[in-house]
Structure 1
Amino acid sequence: MDPCTVFPAELMSSVLSFLPHGSLHSSTLVSLNWNTVATPLLWSSPWTRYNASWSKILRAITVTATATSVDNPSDPPKPLHTYGTYVKHLNFSQLYYIVNDPLIESLAPLCPNLTTLVIDSPKQFSDSSLLTLACTPCAGSLRHVVLRSCTRVTDTSLVAFLHNTTRLERLELTHGTRITDASLRALARIDARNVRTLSEFDANFAHIVRVSSEDEAGEGSGLVALVDNCTGISRLQLAQCGAVTDMILARIARRLGGKLRTLNVSGCGALTDRGLRSLAGCHVLEKLDISRCRGVLDGGVLAVVEGCVRLTCIWVSDDYGGISRDCLRGIEDSMWNAGEGEKGGRKVKVVRGSMAA
């Protein structure tokens, strides 16, 4: 009895996912059914199978699978597909020391169905790599992109990359020191397809959301465009963002209030109680970081805790900032309204420090 013909493909895929590389490879040779289930698992995350031997990966994913005709075995094998088409995830978060432009430029065109790309603190990842990604088919399939501490990437390549991506759901640009507001405007263009799919955006400690001197009010800034156009965002990280003002926070509440579950405005020094009170209408907000926001006082914090009926955790400065200890102690000790239709009360945890730490 062949299990692949008896059990659902999803169940067999789950079982085979626990196999080591050698066993998975053997599974692909059992039969066509086994090959169909095992091959995507074998190639979906190649860095976990090859221990960072990149020459082997590049060599392997360029191989074309072939099939020999049963009726005419003497005929040349018929090409079926290259293994690179199965690669879905590339995570370089622990391999920063070998990430470089030649590697990415060689790898990207071979992985047209790539959905996740994580680049973390690379030493040799620059505009050249991102421009290559922008020009390959994988730009249209990417959904989760992390460019963390990519200090050699500029607006030139990021704008081109964002112009060609159409299905982004999660984008992280933490510590992007050479990225400006121009990239954010490209991401949030009203005609861009990403505005309909983006659900998580992280620009902690990045320059991307700074307002230019010509636009002090911020009405033409990329941050305003992001809030106005990407209305499906549920997780927004803007730590140390000088462009976040009371007006922006009110706009976030008005445009994203029905979806926003996590908000990080740690170190946004322009915020005051007035802006914080506007968040009271965000009824699905669960996590809020207001650490190092010196203009925030007891009244604003209490308004948010009372109004945000799903809020369960709030981050504050180590020294509490402008918030009194009595206020925070009262928040933790009290049972808060859990919202209409919810049974029981709600406890709110107060954490000293930063969400991004």
Structure 2
Amino acid sequence: MGVSRAWFAEGENPVLWTELDCRLVLGAYGSTGIARLRKMFEASRFSLLESINLECCKPVGDAELELLHAVAGTLRRVNLNALHTASPEAIATLGRRCVRCEALSLYWHPRLGDAVLQACATSMGATLRDLNVAGCGGITDAGLAMLVSACARLERLNVTRCSKLTDASLRHIADAAGRHLLELNAYANRAFSDQGYGYLANSGIPTLEKLDTCGAQLLTSPALSSLVRRCGATLVYLNCSWCVALDDRAGIAVADNCSALGLLSFHGIIGITDVAIDVLAGSALKTTLTTLDINGCARVTDYRRETRRLYDMFPNVTTWIHHR
């Protein structure tokens, strides 16, 4: 049975081809996948492409990114996670052309430096809302400052394992994006301290919903207490795993100021004891928490949950292990 020309033409309409997951193409066509992908990048039906996912697409390199220049102006969501065959220069060049980009993910690009952030700042200042640079160990405070200053309406920022960042970056984030920030993931950034988190507290961050400070060994209870006093009413996710300087004062501050948390992790913190747990169980969090990780909190009675004690204290918790 043949397909009518009218139906075929309608099937080629660019408005029907706004999303492209390149992982599926490479997986489906095997050794010919990269050739197929190049043809797709040049096809007229993708002229209105809005979303592209190139995560871990090893065969894709600079030449393929150059083919995307023609449609870069329509792209709103770009995922280049772990695209290690592409050079930082090619990524920066593509970024300069993505003038409508709202979400950019650059996870695990150790070679990327501030030039990429500068390119994004130049082109995406009015549109970028979501940026993931986790694992980009080459970026510095200067690069992040350029980015957040230009993209002042950032709502989601992931700077996990960006080892060159210091408290200065938290100050830039607070000053430029604090009013609109919904999520901040600062997992495994050991240089962030009370000073940096103090900048966030002072900025107010009135919309913050998700905060991940995992591994912030320099973060103390007074600083976290100040922070949750400012943003506790909106927080639904707080991960403080391995923030080893925290103690019961932090837990009490969370109980007193956070009323909507669904997830709370104090994993590995010896300073958290029954005192904090009892206060948490007497607060609104008794019913809102569905994830509570206190594994390794050896001064909490039955932290291994060998009896019903903790289950009864937090009846809606269904997940007791968040940090692995």
Q: Same fold (TM over 0.5)?
A: yes
In the superposition, relative to structure 1, how do residues 92 and 327 fare at CA in structure 2: closer, same or farther (>3 Å)?
closer
Alignment of 1:211-230 (within 5 A): 211=194, 221-228=195-202, 229-230=204-205
Cα pair 1:141 1:166 within 8 Å, conserved: no
In the superposition, relative to structure 1, how do residues 271 and 123 fare at CA in structure 2: closer, same or farther (>3 Å)?
closer
Cα pair 2:99 2:123 within 8 Å, conserved: yes
SS at match of 1:206: coil
Q: Name the aligned partner's letter for residue 277 of structure 2.
A: V
Q: In 2, Cα distance between the equivalents of 1:270 and 1:159?
A: 28
Q: In 1, Cα distance between the equivalents of 2:238 and 2:66?
A: 43
1:312 maps to 2:286: no
In the superposition, relative to structure 1, how do residues 208 and 197 fare at CA in structure 2: closer, same or farther (>3 Å)?
farther
1:146-173 Cα shifts (integer Å, max 9, x gaps): 1112111111211122211122111011
Q: In 2, Cα distance between the equivalents of 1:15 and 1:104?
A: 21
In the superposition, relative to structure 1, how do residues 133 and 247 fare at CA in structure 2: closer, same or farther (>3 Å)?
same
Q: Name the aligned partner's letter for residue 213 of structure 2.
A: L
The structure 2 residue matched to 1:128, chosen from 109, 115, 121, is: 115
In the superposition, relative to structure 1, how do residues 326 and 188 fare at CA in structure 2: closer, same or farther (>3 Å)?
closer
If the length of structure 2 is used for normalisation, what is the TM-score? 0.79
Larger radius of gyration: 1
Return the offset for 1:264. Answer: 0.8
Cα pair 2:241 2:267 within 8 Å, conserved: yes
Aligned position for 1:154: 140
1:183 maps to 2:169: yes
Number of aligned residue pairs: give it: 298
1:201 maps to 2:201: no
Q: Mind listing any 5+ residue stretches in structure 1 that lack a counterpart?
A: 4-11, 30-34, 64-82, 212-220, 337-345
Identity %: 22
Q: Name the aligned partner's letter for residue 162 of structure 2.
A: G
In the superposition, relative to structure 1, how do residues 174 and 133 fare at CA in structure 2: closer, same or farther (>3 Å)?
same
Q: In 1, Cα distance between the equivalents of 2:187 and 2:303?
A: 30
Return the offset for 1:283. Answer: 1.1
Cα pair 2:76 2:103 within 8 Å, conserved: yes
SS at match of 2:320: strand
Q: Name the aligned partner's letter for residue 91 of structure 1.
A: N
Cα pair 1:249 1:276 within 8 Å, conserved: no
The structure 1 residue matched to 2:75, chosen from 87, 96, 105, is: 87
SS at match of 1:197: coil
Return the offset for 1:94. Answer: 3.6
Q: In 2, Cα distance between the equivalents of 1:99 and 1:45?
A: 15
Alignment of 1:37-48 (within 5 A): 39-41=47-49, 43-45=50-52, 47=54
Q: In 2, Cα distance between the equivalents of 1:245 and 1:305?
A: 22
Cα pair 1:108 1:133 within 8 Å, conserved: yes
Q: In 2, Cα distance between the equivalents of 1:14 and 1:102?
A: 28
Return the offset for 1:13. Answer: 5.3
Q: In 1, Cα distance between the equivalents of 2:110 and 2:181?
A: 28
Cα pair 2:200 2:227 within 8 Å, conserved: no
Q: In 1, Cα distance between the equivalents of 2:78 and 2:17?
A: 20
Alignment of 1:209-288 (within 5 A): 209-211=192-194, 221-228=195-202, 229-281=204-256, 282-288=258-264
Q: Name the aligned partner's letter for residue 147 of structure 2.
A: F
Return the offset for 1:222. Answer: 2.5
If the length of structure 1 is used for normalisation, what is the TM-score? 0.72
Q: In 2, Cα distance between the equivalents of 1:270 and 1:15?
A: 48
The structure 1 residue matched to 2:265, chosen from 279, 286, 289, is: 289
Aligned position for 1:78: none
Aligned position for 2:302: 325
In the superposition, relative to structure 1, how do residues 93 and 327 fare at CA in structure 2: closer, same or farther (>3 Å)?
closer
Q: In 1, Cα distance between the equivalents of 2:161 and 2:94?
A: 25
Cα pair 2:292 2:317 within 8 Å, conserved: yes
SS at match of 2:165: coil
Cα pair 1:92 1:99 within 8 Å, conserved: no
Q: In 1, Cα distance between the equivalents of 2:82 and 2:151?
A: 25
In the superposition, relative to structure 1, how do residues 240 and 98 fare at CA in structure 2: closer, same or farther (>3 Å)?
same
